[in-house]
């Protein structure tokens, strides 16, 4: 295929995720990434304004993490995690336990966000099954997103892509996210759902619904819902795949709650974008429900690459950075720069809502519905030609920059958004 560039060669054999290939533009060929930047094959650079789907928080090609991975690769590349264990997994479990909500006691490894949620749901279902408690329904928020495997897809309320599969999904009762204004209504809905004693688990993204367009909800409200669920024997599953590892200001969004989830899912920033890995952590009580003389009461769920040593090594190196003085300074700088930016643009005639929490910034645009059609693509291209990668969702523009982004690079993101607002 001499003479053709990546974008052209790509078209022959590749099928991309989340893509309608009949109408989609050809993908951009990327040849290099470093820090908060990557470069396409024509030599253009882009600021990674969403840290490559919220993963590469310490920057692309981070030296400490790359070194940890290389060293691990030479020492022990891979071994099955069934019947065997290894230092990176043991050490990671020890270090995560020091950081996770205090009620968490056990860590189960998977290899991506969807399978972390899938394992959490299966854990919850079997937890009740093992205790001869027949519960077959999940509770989940409207507009939530939990991944693309069947259990995770069932819990997801964003159903635009779920149409072909709806007849095959798990039973789910859906409630709106709690806000100050609707709290009583949400609680009464939950109470009537709980009265059937059918619910096994409540699955939620704590505080921020990422794929819904970085929608925020009330921590106090969520706290009440968790409390009610736990009083009724419903296991609470916090999907922190997006919010985990400092995005909302705290290490985990659940730290904003008094009532801690029974099960917690983490992935995305876990390995800083260097390796696919995820964990499903749970309380001792959940774990204990699987202990028995009967083999079949164990959790028979596994992926070949469970607890991959390379992923664990990357995660350990990432944890070293998360609360280091340099990264803490950056985390707080980005949070306050976002806050200042939000207060500056909140009254812009084209902004219907601007908000930020931690390093997450989101702006809902005021646009007439007839201009909605290709709005997302127009916004996306507007930023790309300015060397900024953002992935607007509907009429929401959001940024979630890597912690290591420089002040000037962050300013360029804010400037590009400003320029867009003035151009609408
Ligand atoms: C991305 C995401 C998932 C799915 O993770 P994958 O690694 O893409 O399977 C699940 N839950 C939330 C909240 C996410 O943001």
The binding site comprises: 53, 113-114, 239, 268, 303-304, 391
**Would you mind telling me the total number of residues written for the chain in this entry?**
424
Neighbours of 232 (CB within 10 A): 15
The binding site for pyridoxal 5'-phosphate comprises: 113-114, 239, 303-304
What's the pLDDT score for residue 6? 96
Q: In the listed set 308, 323, 338, which residue is the last one of a domain according to the structure?
A: 323
CATH number reported for the structural domain that contains residue 375 in this entry:
3.90.1150.10
What's the pLDDT score for residue 139? 98
For residues 341 and 379, membership in a common domain is answered with yes
For residues 336 and 407, membership in a common domain is answered with yes
Contact residues for 250 (Cβ-Cβ < 8 A; gap 6+): 256, 358
Kind and range of the H or E run holding 280 = strand 278-283
Is residue 15 assigned to a domain? no
Contact residues for 263 (Cβ-Cβ < 8 A; gap 6+): 120, 123, 124, 201, 235, 236, 237, 238, 280, 281, 282, 283, 286
For residues 146 and 222, membership in a common domain is answered with yes
Q: 3-state SS string over 317-382?
A: HHHHHHCCHHHHHHHHHHHHHHHHHHHHHCCCCCEEEEEEECCEEEEEECCCHHHCCCHHHHHHHH
What's the pLDDT score for residue 248? 98
Q: In the listed set 264, 294, 323, which residue is the last one of a domain according to the structure?
A: 323
Q: Which of 37, 55, 36 is nearest to 45 (CA)?
A: 37
Is residue 81 assigned to a domain? yes
Q: How far is the CA of 51 from the centre of ligand 1 (A)?
A: 14
Tokens 């290899």 -> residue: 111
Is residue 370 assigned to a domain? yes
Strand partners, 209: 215
Number of domains in the chain: 2
For residues 75 and 205, membership in a common domain is answered with yes
- Asked if 171 and 136 count as a contact pair (C-beta separation under 8 A), the reply is yes
- Output the CA torsion 189→192→194→197 (10° steps): -160
For residues 116 and 241, membership in a common domain is answered with yes
What's the pLDDT score for residue 159? 67
Whole-angstrom Cα distance, residue 55 to residue 50? 8
Looking at ligand 1, which residue's alpha carbon is closest to its atom 10? 146
Whole-angstrom Cα distance, residue 192 to residue 44? 56
For residues 227 and 331, membership in a common domain is answered with no
For residues 312 and 336, membership in a common domain is answered with no
- Asked if 339 and 410 count as a contact pair (C-beta separation under 8 A), the reply is no
Per-residue pLDDT of the chain (424 residues; tens, 9 = 90+): 567 899 999 999 999 998 999 999 999 999 999 999 999 999 999 999 999 999 999 999 999 999 999 999 999 999 999 999 999 999 999 999 999 999 999 999 999 999 999 999 999 999 999 999 999 999 999 999 999 999 999 999 976 778 899 999 999 999 999 999 999 999 999 999 999 989 999 999 999 999 999 999 999 999 999 999 999 999 999 999 999 999 999 999 999 999 999 999 999 999 999 999 999 999 999 999 999 999 999 999 999 999 999 999 999 999 999 999 999 999 999 999 999 999 999 999 999 999 999 999 999 999 876 555 688 889 999 999 999 999 999 899 999 999 999 999 999 999 999 999 999 8
CATH number reported for the structural domain that contains residue 128 in this entry:
3.40.640.10
- Asked if 121 and 170 count as a contact pair (C-beta separation under 8 A), the reply is yes
Is residue 246 assigned to a domain? yes
Is residue 5 assigned to a domain? no
Domain extent, residue 134, equals: 64-323
For residues 298 and 383, membership in a common domain is answered with no
Q: Which of 411, 408, 390 is nearest to 400 (CA)?
A: 390
For residues 308 and 345, membership in a common domain is answered with no
The binding site for substrate comprises: 53, 268, 391
Q: Which of 100, 33, 31 is nearest to 404 (CA)?
A: 33
Tokens 């495997």 -> residue: 149
What's the pLDDT score for residue 204? 98
What's the pLDDT score for residue 1? 52
Is residue 318 assigned to a domain? yes
pTM over the 0.85 mark? yes
Tokens 């939950």 -> residue: 190
For residues 260 and 334, membership in a common domain is answered with no
Ligand 1 contact, 205 CB (< 6 A)? yes
Q: In the listed set 305, 323, 341, which residue is the last one of a domain according to the structure?
A: 323
What's the pLDDT score for residue 394? 87
For residues 142 and 261, membership in a common domain is answered with yes
Q: How far is the CA of 19 from the centre of ligand 1 (A)?
A: 17
- Asked if 39 and 32 count as a contact pair (C-beta separation under 8 A), the reply is yes
What's the pLDDT score for residue 2? 62
For residues 265 and 338, membership in a common domain is answered with no
Long-range CB pairs of 351-355, under 8 A, 24+ apart, other chains included:
351/421, 355/214, 355/216
Is residue 244 assigned to a domain? yes
Mutate to test the pocket of ligand 1, among 52, 120, 145, 155 (most ligand atoms within 8 A of CB): 145
Q: How far is the CA of 199 from the centre of ligand 1 (A)?
A: 23
Q: How far is the CA of 350 from the centre of ligand 1 (A)?
A: 30
Q: How far is the CA of 242 from the centre of ligand 1 (A)?
A: 7
Ligand 1 contact, 58 CB (< 6 A)? no
- Asked if 129 and 159 count as a contact pair (C-beta separation under 8 A), the reply is no
Q: Where are the alpha helices (DSSP H) in 62-108?
A: 63-75, 87-99
Q: Which of 143, 154, 114, 161 is nearest to 18 (CA)?
A: 161
Radius of gyration of the chain (CA): 22
Mutate to test the pocket of ligand 1, among 110, 114, 118 (most ligand atoms within 8 A of CB): 114
Is residue 12 assigned to a domain? no
What's the pLDDT score for residue 216? 98
């Amino acid at each position: 295929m001499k003479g053709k560039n990546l974008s052209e060669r790509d078209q022959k054999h590749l099928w991309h995720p989340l893509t309608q290939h009949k109408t989609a533009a050809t993908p951009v060929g990327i040849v290099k990434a470093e820090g908060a930047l990557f470069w396409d094959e024509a030599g253009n650079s882009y600021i990674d304004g969403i840290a490559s789907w919220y993963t590469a928080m310490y920057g692309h090609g981070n030296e400490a993490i790359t070194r940890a991975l290389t060293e691990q690769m030479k020492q022990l590349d891979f071994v099955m995690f069934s019947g065997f264990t290894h230092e990176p997994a043991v050490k990671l479990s020890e270090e995560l336990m020091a950081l996770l909500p205090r009620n968490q006691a056990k860590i189960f490894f998977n290899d991506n966000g969807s399978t972390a949620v899938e394992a959490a749901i299966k854990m919850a279902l079997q937890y009740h099954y093992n205790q001869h408690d027949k519960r077959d329904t999940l509770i989940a928020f409207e507009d939530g997103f939990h991944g693309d495997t069947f259990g995770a897809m069932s819990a997801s309320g964003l159903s635009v892509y779920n149409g072909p599969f709806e007849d095959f999904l798990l039973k789910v009762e859906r409630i709106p996210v709690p806000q100050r204004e609707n709290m009583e209504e949400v609680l009464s809905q939950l109470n009537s759902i709980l009265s059937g004693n059918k619910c096994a688990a409540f699955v939620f993204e704590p505080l921020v619904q990422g794929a819904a367009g970085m929608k925020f909800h009330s921590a106090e409200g969520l706290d009440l819902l968790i409390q009610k669920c736990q009083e009724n024997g419903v296991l609470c599953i916090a999907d922190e795949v997006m919010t985990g590892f400092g995005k909302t200001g705290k290490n985990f969004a659940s730290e904003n709650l008094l009532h801690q989830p029974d099960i917690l899912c983490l992935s995305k920033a876990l390995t800083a974008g260097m390796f696919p890995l995820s964990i499903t952590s749970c309380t001792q009580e959940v774990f204990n429900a699987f202990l028995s003389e009967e083999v079949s009461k164990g959790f028979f769920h596994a992926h070949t690459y469970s607890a991959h040593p390379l992923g664990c090594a990357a995660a350990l190196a990432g944890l070293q950075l998360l609360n280091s003085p340099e990264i803490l300074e950056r985390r707080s700088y980005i949070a306050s720069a976002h806050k200042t930016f939000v207060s500056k643009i909140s009254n812009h005639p084209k902004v219907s809502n601007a908000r930020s929490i931690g390093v997450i910034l989101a702006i809902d645009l005021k646009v007439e519905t007839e201009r909605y059609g290709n709005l997302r693509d127009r916004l996306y291209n507007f930023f790309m030609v300015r060397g900024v990668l953002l992935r607007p969702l509907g009429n929401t523009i959001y940024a979630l920059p890597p912690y290591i982004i420089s002040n000037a690079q962050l300013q360029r993101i804010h400037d590009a958004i400003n320029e867009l607002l003035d151009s609408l």
